[in-house]
Each structure stands twice: as structure tokens, then as C-alpha cells.
A and B are shown apart, each in its own frame.
Chain A
């Protein structure tokens, strides 16, 4: 069981470039999430999905887009990267209801 797999693990982008972060889970979880983690702050929710074909905005959605075309995959897109998007990004998944999240190992993104 791989759990939650994120790719890539590291990436450096120039301001204005675009990229897609990939997340895959093999636990048949209904819910998936994208978070960013910055020093001095708790994990902040960017976007989430409660099922295939559905997405919703979280706490800090600006500058990001997501898609969940298949239940097991959740993609995070940056259309035009900005230095403020330098962060560590985590994907997570969970069952519906009150259950803990399973996190991926993260993507460290630097925008220069």
C-alpha cells in the first residue's frame, strides 16, 4: 500500500511559469486535499474535493486551480507562479466523516 504519493518532490520555477503537482492515493478515500505549509503557520487548506468531479475552495485558493477527474487523483495547478507561492505543498486524503488524514511526503516548491 503506497498511501498518498506526490510528484515531484522538489521543483524550482521562475516567476510566471506554470506547473502541475500530482497526487495519487490508493486507499479509495472519498476526500482529498491540498495544503501548503509555511514557517510560522499551521497547514493551510488551498482546495479540497469530496468526490470525483467535485472541487471546492479552501482558505487560500488564489493563484491555484485543481481537478479531480478520477477518484484516486487530485491535481494542483499553478497557472502563473509567484514568489509568494514558495512553500511546501502537501496532499492528503481521508474517508468521509471524522477520520484523520493520510498525507503525502510533500513537494518543496521554490519560485524565483
Chain B
């Protein structure tokens, strides 16, 4: 997904259902991945992270899956609640072509929870 505000991909989910938000990353050298939640008018908030030596990590109501073969990351939210409504974006960290550690943020997906 990509964009903050305008032209933002939107996922609409019924309250109580599970949500799956996807992210494709670009750098095969990335070894650390993070999901952030950003509510309207607020700063991004850390949700969960995963290192490249793992393919799954669970938190409270959230699960992150990492598929390094296809460079894909997903965030699953169980029993989605109205308070989950926000923009979710992923970030990848890895060695850039210039030889330094670089963090690249995705543009995000807007999650709308329907009561």
C-alpha cells in the first residue's frame, strides 16, 4: 500500500473479523522489519518487529509473517476493533548500495473498521 492521506489503499473490515495488511519490500539485504500504526494527527507507533532469521512473530492480537523468498511482509490483526482504525505501514532496515544501514518506510494502508 502507498500514501499518507491521499490515494491511500484502504482495507475495510467488519469489527470482530481478522485483518491482513500486506507489504512488499525491495531490498533483499534487509534484515529487520517493523510495523507501525499511525492514527490521524499522531506520530507512528511501533507495533511489532521481526528479524530476518524468523518467519513469524506473534504479539498481543497481532502476528507478523515474513516471506524472504518473495520479499513480502504481512501484519495480521485478530478480532479487529474500532480502535485499530489507522494507517499501517511497514519499514525495512538493511545495508544500502552505499554501504550504510538504511531504513525505508512504506507509504501505508488505511484500515477502516466497520462497527
B-contacting residues of A (Cβ < 8 Å)?
Answer: 4, 37-43, 45, 90, 92, 98-106
Closest to A104 in B: B43
A100 near B34 (CB under 8 angstroms)?
Answer: yes
Q: Is B70 an interface residue (CB 8 A)?
A: no
Residues of B contacting A90 in the complex (Cβ-Cβ under 8 angstroms): 43-44
Picked from A4, A39, A45, the residue with its CB within 8 Å of the CB of B5 is A39
Q: Is B65 an interface residue (CB 8 A)?
A: no
Q: Is B61 an interface residue (CB 8 A)?
A: no
A-contacting residues of B (Cβ < 8 Å)?
Answer: 2-7, 31-32, 34, 36, 41-46, 49, 51, 89, 93, 103-108
Number of residue pairs A-B, CB distance < 8 angstroms? 56
Contacts A39-B3, A39-B5; A106 near B43 (Cβ below 8 A) = yes
Residues of A contacting B49 in the complex (Cβ-Cβ under 8 angstroms): 98-100
A42 near B44 (CB under 8 angstroms)?
Answer: no
**Contact sample, A vs B, 11 pairs, CB 8 Å cutoff:** A39-B4, A39-B7, A40-B107, A41-B107, A42-B104, A42-B106, A92-B43, A98-B31, A100-B36, A103-B45, A105-B43
